[in-house]
């Protein structure tokens, strides 16, 4: 999901994996003295990296923690942050990791190898119930601490594949070769945790009251439905020192309210401009050039839960027919003013190694074929499309529903927007497999590889597999890709895996994003991370006469 650099050139890019979040009704104004506010929302869970999977929590966690790697905001490529070297064996089964001495947590203690090893073991151990546990599944001994059978008890509480060499070096042994493993190590799940976390009798209380990271900002307070406050950590060990003294992640009831506050100077950054401001390029006049534009590693789709009881919803012909009833190009033009690009597969074209055309005819607008397929299935009824109401999704979902309804007029099939109050509630329904209809699905990459999205969303038991989709042949292709000797070989396997998604269509791809972010006149320059679709907090340069 989720989710860093500096400079004055403005680019628009974002993780972390994460899942695309909603935006949410805060108020108040940004004060001076280097205090800035960013658009945020309530985190789904207390701020523990191994349990933070969605964008809103990820924004905060990424500002508070640093990892072995970071992802370049302009390119999305993995670069060393804490790591001095990460050396794989010839077949990518053993990784020797060395990192910088003297890097401090915000409580003054030093980051050592045990802080990584203990954090990863905690995240993987099944009884701890961490959302990101699956990210450790490559490591030898994972099945001992996290049995595949949910009812089985772990036979160990530590993975055998983690070996400490000294305080600043450790080795990771995988259960099988994985060419993508190194790229993952900048993701949220792999952050180190301080000793105080492991000593805390109640880990969630620790994370709510005073979480401690090793990144550029430290925690001040969290006010539900209002804001999360962070302050600059002046002893931050990284090379990119942050400028703002305080960052407030403010919660809004909708994007339009946030945009009005941005215009009024009461909000300083939002990573997406609402459709109401995109229309007719209104935002360009409103903001006097304070805008970031550029392609992002993000995409949007409609997810179809496999556990819904309606048989037609499980029928690939029905799914294909609905997909071909959606006029993606027209919606992108009318609702997003061209800031979305119709997608032809399950991955954005900005991701390294993506093969074009994976969706084939099924992502092409074809009213006649759509109607034929729907009539062939014979379903008559309503398709609810769920999304959180505290974000700018209502317009485009209604446009998608209108396209479906117009195309399929006379078939007895109708689609309609079905709002869920907040992003937090929607995520809870997804996690609990309690969705009452089809749902908006958005993705920010956790690391720059097709594996990030394909494994998380579609692998059996994947960390963000909200549809509960399972295809053993698809899983096998992902394993084959990971064991490939070269990236080119791996990408061929990923392309074959996408073909299976075309046949089953567990999610209906819609578009990737050519993002439009905006900032106030308190900010002189800022970057948005291309992969994670969030502000790179260490890149923010303030206007001295405004802050």
The tens place of each residue's pLDDT in the chain, 547 residues long, gives 332 222 222 233 333 333 333 333 443 334 447 999 999 989 989 999 999 988 889 999 999 999 999 999 988 899 999 999 999 999 999 999 999 999 999 999 999 999 999 999 999 999 999 999 999 999 999 999 999 888 899 999 999 999 999 999 999 999 999 999 999 999 999 999 999 999 999 999 999 999 999 999 999 999 999 999 999 999 999 999 999 999 999 999 888 999 999 999 999 999 988 888 988 889 988 998 899 988 888 899 999 999 999 999 999 999 999 999 999 999 998 888 888 899 999 998 888 888 889 999 999 999 999 999 999 999 999 999 999 887 778 899 999 999 999 999 999 999 999 999 888 888 889 888 999 999 999 888 889 999 999 999 999 988 889 999 999 999 999 999 999 999 999 999 999 999 999 999 999 999 998 878 999 999 999 998 888 888 999 999 999 766 5
Q: Tell me the C-alpha distance between 30 and 247, whole Å.
A: 10
Q: Quick one: pLDDT at residue 545? A: 62
Of 88, 43, 84, 54, the residue nearest 442 (C-alpha): 54
Q: What residues have CB less than 8 Å from 85, skipping those under 6 apart?
A: 96, 97, 98
Q: Quick one: pLDDT at residue 268? A: 97
Hey, is 377 helix, strand or coil?
Answer: helix
Of 212, 229, 233, 211, the residue nearest 220 (C-alpha): 229
Q: Six-digit token pair at 34?
A: 């280097």
Q: Quick one: pLDDT at residue 293? A: 84
Of 306, 249, 243, the residue nearest 47 (C-alpha): 249
CATH 3.40.190.10 fits domain 35-66+209-292: yes
Q: Quick one: pLDDT at residue 9? A: 27
Q: Tell me the C-alpha distance between 472 and 382, whole Å.
A: 31
**Any bridge partners for residue 414, and if so which?**
382
Q: Quick one: pLDDT at residue 296? A: 84
CB 321, CB 38: distance < 8 Å:
no
Q: Helices 394-407 and 367-377: crossing angle, nearest 10°?
A: 80
Residue ranges of the chain that CATH labels 3.90.76.10: 69-203
Q: Tell me the C-alpha distance between 88 and 239, whole Å.
A: 25
Name the CATH superfamily housing domain 69-203: Dipeptide-binding Protein; Domain 1 (3.90.76.10)
Q: Tell me the C-alpha distance between 92 and 441, whole Å.
A: 32
Residue ranges of the chain that CATH labels 3.40.190.10: 35-66+209-292
Of 324, 322, 323, 342, the residue nearest 332 (C-alpha): 342
Q: What are phi and psi of 321, to 5 degrees?
A: -65, -45
Q: Quick one: pLDDT at residue 493? A: 95
CA 426, 432, 434, 440 torsion: positive or negative? Answer: positive
Q: Quick one: pLDDT at residue 47? A: 96
Q: How many CB atoms lie within 10 A of CB 9?
A: 8
Q: In this structure, what DSSP letter does residue 359 have?
A: T
């Amino acid at each position: 999901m989720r989710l860093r650099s500096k400079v004055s050139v403005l680019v628009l890019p974002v993780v972390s994996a994460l899942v695309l979040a909603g935006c949410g009704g805060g108020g108040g104004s940004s004060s001076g003295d280097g205090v800035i506010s960013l658009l945020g929302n309530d985190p789904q869970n207390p701020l523990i990296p191994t349990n933070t999977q969605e964008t809103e929590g990820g924004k905060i966690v990424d500002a508070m923690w640093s990892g072995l790697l970071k992802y370049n905001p302009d390119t999305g490529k993995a670069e060393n942050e804490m790591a001095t070297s990460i050396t794989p064996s010839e077949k990518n089964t053993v990784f020797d990791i060395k990192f910088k001495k003297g890097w401090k947590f915000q409580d003054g203690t030093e980051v050592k190898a045990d802080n990584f090893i203990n954090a990863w073991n905690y995240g993987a151990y099944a009884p701890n119930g961490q959302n990101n546990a699956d990210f450790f599944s490559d490591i030898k001994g994972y099945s001992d601490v996290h049995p595949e059978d949910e009812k089985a008890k772990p036979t160990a509480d530590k993975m055998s594949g983690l070996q400490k060499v000294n305080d600043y070096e450790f080795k990771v042994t995988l259960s099988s070769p994985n060419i993508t493993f190194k790229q993952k190590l900048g993701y949220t799940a792999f952050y180190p945790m301080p000793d105080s976390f492991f000593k805390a009798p109640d880990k969630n209380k620790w994370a709510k009251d005073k979480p401690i990271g090793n990144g550029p900002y430290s925690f001040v307070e969290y006010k539900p439905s209002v804001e999360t406050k962070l302050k600059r950590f002046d002893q931050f060990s990284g090379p990119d020192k942050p400028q703002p003294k305080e960052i407030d992640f403010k919660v809004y009831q909708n994007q339009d309210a946030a945009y009005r506050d941005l215009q009024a100077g009461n909000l300083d950054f939002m990573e997406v401009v609402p459709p109401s401001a995109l229309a007719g390029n209104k935002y360009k006049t409103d903001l006097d050039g304070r805008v970031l534009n550029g392609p992002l590693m993000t995409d949007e789709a409609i997810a179809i839960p496999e556990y819904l009881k309606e048989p037609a919803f499980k029928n690939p012909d029905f799914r294909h027919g609905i997909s071909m009833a959606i006029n993606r190009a027209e919606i992108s033009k009318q609702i997003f003013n061209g800031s979305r690009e119709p997608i032809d597969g399950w991955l954005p074209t900005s991701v390294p190694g993506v093969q074009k055309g994976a969706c084939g005819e099924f992502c092409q607008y074809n009213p006649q074929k759509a109607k034929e397929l729907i009539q062939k299935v014979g379903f008559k009824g309503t398709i609810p499309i769920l999304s959180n109401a505290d974000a700018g999704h209502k317009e485009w979902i209604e446009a998608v529903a209108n396209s479906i309804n117009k195309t399929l007029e006379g078939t007895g099939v109708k689609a309609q927007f079905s709002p869920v109050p907040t992003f937090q509630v929607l995520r809870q329904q997804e996690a609990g497999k309690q969705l009452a209809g089809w749902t908006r699905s958005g993705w920010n990459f956790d690391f720059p590889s097709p594996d990030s999205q394909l494994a998380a969303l579609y692998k059996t038991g994947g960390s963000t597999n909200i549809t509960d989709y399972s295809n053993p042949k698809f899983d096998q292709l992902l394993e084959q890709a990971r064991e490939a000797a070269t990236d080119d070989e791996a990408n061929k396997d990923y392309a074959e895996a996408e073909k299976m998604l075309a046949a089953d269509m567990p999610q209906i791809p819609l578009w990737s994003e050519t993002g439009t972010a905006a900032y106030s006149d308190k900010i002189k320059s800022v970057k948005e991370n291309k992969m994670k679709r969030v502000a790179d907090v260490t890149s923010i340069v303030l206007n001295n006469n405004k802050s």
